[in-house]
Amino acid sequence: MTLTPEQRERRRESDRKWRAANPEYYRQRYAANREKAQEYARNWRAAHPEKSRENSRKYREANPEKVKGRILRWRADHPDRVKAHKHKLHDKERFNGYRQSVLNANQGVCVNCGGKAILVHHIDGRGRDHPAPNHDPKNLVPMCNSCHAKHHKAIQDAHS
């Protein structure tokens, strides 16, 4: 049987109410099946990468404080990983050694908005994660974090 969106929404709403009225039931059930629940969630995310991204975006928007707290706790628990990550970000050898000169060119500002450039973008899309990265200086431009994210999101949307 297929439910109409209205029916589905109503069912979800009554599930929500039931859960809110019986918090212990779910807590215990979840604790008893934690591994299965986590595996189920993992499989679901793997099968629905886009919905999963959308859901976590919504969650982050609705719970910015929780997310921030979790990140801070993770950092406090993993000082070595944090250090390694910082090192990687500032590694002068990245992009065949062109990273710093690309950032310094264009007066250190983002080619898009003129804000402070903190990362290097590959014009042809062949970046670090590409099987054949193109670190030719002509292919590299300095960008700020926000323009870079927007740019890649626009590309992703165009392809989906």
**32 binds Zn ion, rule: CB under 5 A:** no
For the chain, list the strands marked E by DSSP: 119-122, 140-143
115 belongs to the binding site for Zn ion (CB under 5 A): yes
- Binding string to Zn ion for residues 63 to 102, with x set by CB under 5 A, is what? ----------------------------------------
Q: Which is nearer to Zn ion, 78 or 116 (CB)?
A: 116
Told to check if 141 binds Zn ion by CB under 5 A, we report no
120 forms beta bridges with 142
CA 24 to chain centre: 32
Size of the site for Zn ion (CB under 5 A): 7
The two structure tokens encoding residue 94: 């990245």
Q: Which of 124, 105, 123, 114 is nearest to 144 (CA)?
A: 114
The neighbouring-strand residues paired with 141 are 121
Write down the least CB distance from residue 160 to Zn ion, Å.
17
Rule CB under 5 A: say whether 112 interacts with Zn ion: yes
108 binds Zn ion (CB under 5 A): no
Q: Is 147 in the site for Zn ion (CB under 5 A)?
A: yes
In order of 104, 106, 154, the CA distances from 118 in angstroms are: 10, 12, 20
Measure the CA–CA gap between 141 and 108, rounded to whole angstroms: 10
Residues that bind Zn ion (CB under 5 A): 110, 112-113, 115, 121, 144, 147
